[in-house]
Amino acid sequence: MYDYVELHCHTNYSLLDGASHPENLLDQAKALGMDSLAITDHDGLYGVVRFYRAARERGIKPIIGAELTLHRPGPVEGLAEGEGGYHLVLLAKDQTGYSNLCRLISHAQLSHSKGNASLQFEALKKHTEGLFCLSGCRKGEIASHLLAERGKEALEAGERYARVFGKENFWIELQNHLLPEDQRLIAELVDLAQHLGVGYVATNNAHYAERSGHRLQDVLVCIKNRTTLDDSAGLRYANSEYYLKSAEEMAELFADYPEAIANTRAIAEQCSVDLDLTACRLPRVIDITRNLPDFPVPEGETPFRYLCKLCWEGARSKYGTITDAVRRQLDHELRMIDKVGLAGYFLIVWDIVRFAREHGILAQGRGSAANSIVAYVLDITKVDPLRHNLLFERFLSEDAHTMPDIDVDFSASRRDEVIRYVYEKYGEQYTGMVANVVTFRARSAVRDVGKALGFPLPLLDKVAKSLDTCQAESLKDELAGIEDFADKAKYLPWQQLIELCRKIDGFPRHLSIHVGGMIITGSPLIDLVPLERATMPGRVVTQFNKDDIEDLGLIKIDLLGLRALSLIQEALELIKEHGGIEPDLESIPLDDPVVFDMLCRADTIGAFQVESRAQAQTLPKMRPRRFEDIVVEIAIIRPGPIQGNMVHPYLRRRQGLERVEYLHPKLKPILEETLGVVVFQEQVIRIAMAIAGFAPGEADHLRRAMSRHRSEFEMEKLRERFIEGAVGNGVDEQIAKEMFRQLAGFASYGFCKSHAAAFAKTAYDTLYLKAHFPTEFYCALLNNQPMGFYSPEVIVGDARRHGVRVLPVHVNRSHARCILDDGGIRLGFSYVHGLGKAGIARLEEAREDGRFKWLRDFCRRTRLSRKAVENLIMVGAMDYWRRPRRQLLWELGKLRYEEEELDLVFHDDGAKLPGLSKAEKIGIEYSVLGLPVSDQVMALYRPWLKKMGILSSLDLKDRKDKKKVKVAGLVVVRQAPPTAKGHVFITLEDEYGLVNVIVRPDVYERFRHSLRDAPLITVEGILQKQGEVVSVLAQRAVGLTTQW
Amino acid sequence: MTRLWRKGQEVEVMVDGSGTPLAFEWNGRVHHIVSISKHWRVHDGWWRREVWRDYFKLEADSGLLCIIYQGLKGNWYLQRIYD
């Protein structure tokens, strides 16, 4: 029995160098009987938290390390500057080692451009405490010298490393991959180690779990180097020996050096780092109270006393008189906040929101923080947790396993100002953005893997574009369903493509910035997490993603940009500018019948959260009449469950199709608000507390375990605890079991009520504006695209149907953005293709000297490109000169006119040209503006459609349920939610409104070509009417102008 | 000077339990392997025609200094002889 631990192991977080997920490597290690395994990715700890978590779950000891790239002095032949640095493996022995690893990686990353990390030896030598150093692979400094027969340099390097790390921490690394020079190199390395008086150790520099992984590894190397397998002989490994080898295999390879094998165990035993993975219930390494910055408070105050003062002041202004209920709740929360030492955290968030408000930036908290009255009275959140019966324990409890998380939305257009403020206030050393790891999906996989295999690019493009799926894993099934590619799977290259895409699915590809996650820390960030450059210049990002940060127990604040808030903000400004009375959204009544009438008839295009196709289909069934109904609607109608035709039991009960009943009378007060059905995560917590006597933190742990699909082992433990507690409370065991089963069953539906309530408020605000200030609302909506579910063309149609006039672009009246003009909305220049920001600026600047008098005057003063002027003419921006558009184009053509040149000659030759037809106008508007100003395109076809017996969306309202109908329209939405089991949902628009079309998988396959690619289609199918919900179940579909 | 066969000359080889060659038959006689000075492996080309070669540089009791390899299908070839 040999004892071997792999100490040099790359996961796929080495980013395009490493062909196995951390879990696969750990599974293989376990199968080989290894009780410890190291992770040593290139210049990063990206995969460390995931690796650590997975290792603990499998009972394997994780060894945290990295392979760093060291700066190589002097130019190297055949390599670009900065390329070809030396490799060096570092393993953390303890917390100090972990911190130093973070520091060294950050140094290497931040001192160079993104993706070119390189560490100076001078920096390395300052942070060696707590680290083991292995001399690295063939690219290590010592091995490189020996391979080039520079013995003296190798020895010098070895002495240098031994000096800075200490002889007991520096190990000469031996690798045998059956390459021609390996045996000689090993012998020389062993000699050198003996000469230096340091130990030597065997590693296999594993890059994949099993031998078969070498194919993907080869492909990844090609992707990284942007080349093909045929052209990459020198870049790829020469064989497939870089897998996780067993102790026996390694012992055989190192039969002459048994010590090299034995030393792996000695090193592994000395490495022990605890990352504070809360689920593992380890003592906190990163103490949040230590790691929160001190919030500057007025002299003589402590953060907590200052927080109390702010809260009571806030409470008085929110509630007027402070009732017992308010006092009790506020006292309770403040006590808890003090106990867990989070007063500073609340002050930080309060301060950020205050900054935003003082600078006129709309801000509001979302997520579980809206459960807190403290957040409400500090003006961080907008919903009153008492009024909406929210639960503080969902946000924070004394014995919580994770840190609370406050997410704040800001007006999207101004979020950057807020982030800048945070950087300035706390300093760059203590502030960072959280990473988001971008992974391979079907299209990127096909493109990248295909290129490496040598497929022609146009072909790959065609394959990628015809895929509907996001998952590379299902590529095979998908290709089989596409006519052009159906028979390809029998050819070897295609089989390889399919197989490799399946394997690469979900592999990390590169790092980007998480939409809003920021961490702020008390001790320098660089000691806690590795940092690197973000793509955005000047920004720094952590190498950990948001789940990692949470698991580490660090505090994160999500500062998100929400376009809906930009929309609201702009609409309010427009109301004020145009002399209207700006509504105070904080005090508008939440029971406006006009708003609920709109919801009942699903008149919600442009409204936040309640406009999607699925929402529009359920709202008429749900018939919301109270604010609380919107909260439930947002919580249950999400992509997934509903679109998969799994109607939520709540809806059945609401429609009276199912009786409202409770498993136990104790559930009634908890579930009454949702008709006996578990809808909210808060209810799971309440049930665990009330029925099974869980402590609040324990109950929240159960909630988390259910929603994050924790291990079965953990669930089983919680289940036993729940049933035992329930029985102890006098609940029948069978009923307790059934309760737990139902709780677990609803876990995937479970939604945070406070989050839904916060979003419901924003939804209500947008609906309120749409109902009472439609012109301002649509104008702001058009100015904040893209947002929400629909494109500008649909919005313009909806505006028109609500009596709002949309006016064409006008050279003398329009601005870059849409504005209110002449009682309607004047489209802005930014909707005109080909004008660009610079063009618009030039136009507006020229207009400061007075209105444009004529085409020639316009061209002379703006000197815009001919194409831009043409586009302006074609969309009617110069119609007010009362010349047909075609005539203007003709005249433009005759101008001897060059962009940015002044020389103009103009003769009137008296040509008279006909105006554009309506169809031409509409066609041009779609292509130049992306939306129709004159009319919706289907109006053109209406006479012909009538003749053909094809109905409009209006006609459908009078037809009977289950009748066969034909309907036509412009495809504005096409959705194939993964949970809908192959169903495709299409929304058609005509001049009267929208029509929902449901396409079953078999019908989709048959008519895929039209359904997927044609812009205008005719659908034949069965009309389905449920109350006011009208849809068509498609049987056939063709492009509009095609015959059946 | 060395003699090199691009594709190698197929030879019969006797191996031990771990697959290491002990002797081979070439040119009408059995060459017993005295020492193996190098062993390396190539595994490549899988996307077109997979190549797997386990190379051994060795010295035989006949005085022959040569390289033999075992291919993907288990057959052995003599690739190079050093004069």
B76 touches B12 (CB < 8 A): yes
What is the token pair recorded at A919?
A: 């169809």
A222 touches A228 (CB < 8 A): yes
A373 touches A343 (CB < 8 A): no
pLDDT in tens, A779-838: 999 999 998 889 998 999 999 999 999 999 999 999 999 999 989 999 999 999 888 999
Side-by-side strand order, sheet with A824-826: A806-807, A824-826, A819-821
Predicted pLDDT at A282: 25
Give the distance from CA A409 to its chain's centroid.
15
Q: Between these two residues, A179 and A443, which has the higher pLDDT value?
A: A179
Which chain B residues are Cβ-neighbours of A496 within 8 angstroms? 47
Partner residue facing B41 (CB), from A229, A233, A239 = A239
Name the average pLDDT for chain A. Answer: 88
Smallest CA–CA distance, residue B62 to chain A, in Å, is 24
Which chain B residues are Cβ-neighbours of A229 within 8 angstroms? 47
What is the token pair recorded at A344?
A: 């500073």
Q: Which residue of A has its CA nearest to B57?
A: A180
Flag if A239 and B38 touch (Cβ within 8 Å): no
The least confident of A114-118, A433-437, A473-477 is A473-477
Residue A343's pLDDT band (cuts 50, 70, 90):
confident
Distance CA A583, CA A745 (A): 43
Which chain B residues are Cβ-neighbours of A233 within 8 angstroms? 44
Which chain A residues are Cβ-neighbours of B44 within 8 angstroms? 233, 236, 238-239
Predicted pLDDT at A472: 67
pLDDT in tens, A517-571: 888 877 788 888 899 988 777 778 999 988 888 778 777 889 999 999 999 999 9
Q: Return all residues near A89 (Cβ < 8 A) that are at least 6 apart.
A: A7, A8, A40, A65, A66, A67, A68, A133, A134, A135, A136, A173, A203
What is the token pair recorded at A787?
A: 């947002």
pLDDT in tens, B44-57: 999 999 999 999 99
Smallest CA–CA distance, residue A236 to chain B, in Å, is 9
Flag if B42 and A238 touch (Cβ within 8 Å): yes
Q: Between these two residues, A186 and A427, which has the higher pLDDT value?
A: A186
Smallest CA–CA distance, residue B21 to chain A, in Å, is 16
Flag if A238 and B46 touch (Cβ within 8 Å): no
- The 3-state DSSP class for residue A992 equals coil
Smallest CA–CA distance, residue A462 to chain B, in Å, is 22
Looking only at the bridges linking them, the beta strands covering A993-999 and A984-990 are: antiparallel
Q: Which residue has the tokens 């009408």?
A: B28
Distance CA A231, CA A214 (A): 17
Flag if B46 and A215 touch (Cβ within 8 Å): yes
Residues present in chain A in total:
1044
B51 touches B45 (CB < 8 A): yes
Flag if A239 and B39 touch (Cβ within 8 Å): no
B50 vs A: CB within 8 A:
no
Smallest CA–CA distance, residue B41 to chain A, in Å, is 5
Flag if A239 and B47 touch (Cβ within 8 Å): no
Predicted pLDDT at A640: 47
Mean pLDDT by 10 residues, chain B (83 residues): 78 90 92 94 94 94 93 92 85
Query: What residues make up the domain containing B14?
Result: 2-82
Supply the DSSP symbol for A809.
Answer: P
Q: Return all residues near A536 (Cβ < 8 A) that are at least 6 apart.
A: A513
- The 3-state DSSP class for residue A369 equals helix
Partner residue facing A241 (CB), from B41, B44, B55 = B41
Q: Between these two residues, A105 and A636, which has the higher pLDDT value?
A: A105
Predicted pLDDT at A716: 83
Flag if B47 and A493 touch (Cβ within 8 Å): yes
Residue A749 clears pLDDT 90, i.e. is over it? no
Flag if A183 and B39 touch (Cβ within 8 Å): yes
Partner residue facing B38 (CB), from A183, A229, A233 = A183
- Helix pair angle (A855-862, A885-894), 10° resolution: 50
Question: Cα dist. A510→A178, A437, A852 in Å?
Answer: 32, 6, 50
Residue A642 clears pLDDT 90, i.e. is over it? no
Q: Which residue of A has its CA nearest to B52?
A: A239
Q: Which helix (H) or strand (E) holds A256?
A: none
Distance CA A756, CA A635 (A): 6
Distance CA A1017, CA A971 (A): 7
Which chain A residues are Cβ-neighbours of B46 within 8 angstroms? 215, 218
Q: Which residue has the tokens 């649509």?
A: A778
Smallest CA–CA distance, residue A355 to chain B, in Å, is 59
A400 touches A344 (CB < 8 A): no
Predicted pLDDT at A704: 79
Partner residue facing B43 (CB), from A230, A240, A453 = A240
Residue A279's pLDDT band (cuts 50, 70, 90):
very low
Partner residue facing B41 (CB), from A178, A252, A453 = A178
What is the token pair recorded at A128?
A: 């060696």
Flag if A215 and B44 touch (Cβ within 8 Å): no
Which chain A residues are Cβ-neighbours of B18 within 8 angstroms? 252
- Please name which of A779, A791, A798, A782 lies closest in space to residue A990, comparing C-alpha atoms: A798
Predicted pLDDT at A1015: 86
Residues of A at the B interface, defined by Cβ within 8 angstroms: 178-180, 182-183, 214-215, 218, 229-230, 233, 236, 238-241, 252, 453-454, 493, 496
pLDDT in tens, A368-384: 899 999 999 999 999 99
Partner residue facing B43 (CB), from A239, A252, A453 = A239
pLDDT in tens, A864-901: 888 899 899 988 899 888 888 888 888 888 877 666 55
DSSP letter string, A937-985: THHHHHHHHHHTTPBPHHHHTTSPTT-EEEEEEEEEEEE--GGGTT-EE
Which chain B residues are Cβ-neighbours of A214 within 8 angstroms? 43
pLDDT in tens, A88-130: 999 999 989 999 999 999 999 998 888 889 999 999 999 999 9
Q: Structural domain tally of chain B?
A: 1
Cα torsion for A480, A486, A491, A492, to the nearest 10°? -30
| pTM summary value | 0.76
Flag if A239 and B46 touch (Cβ within 8 Å): no
Residue A644's pLDDT band (cuts 50, 70, 90):
very low
* A693-725 CB burial, b ≥16 within 10 A, e <16: bbebbbbbbbbbbbbeebeeeebeebbebbbeb
Flag if B44 and A238 touch (Cβ within 8 Å): yes
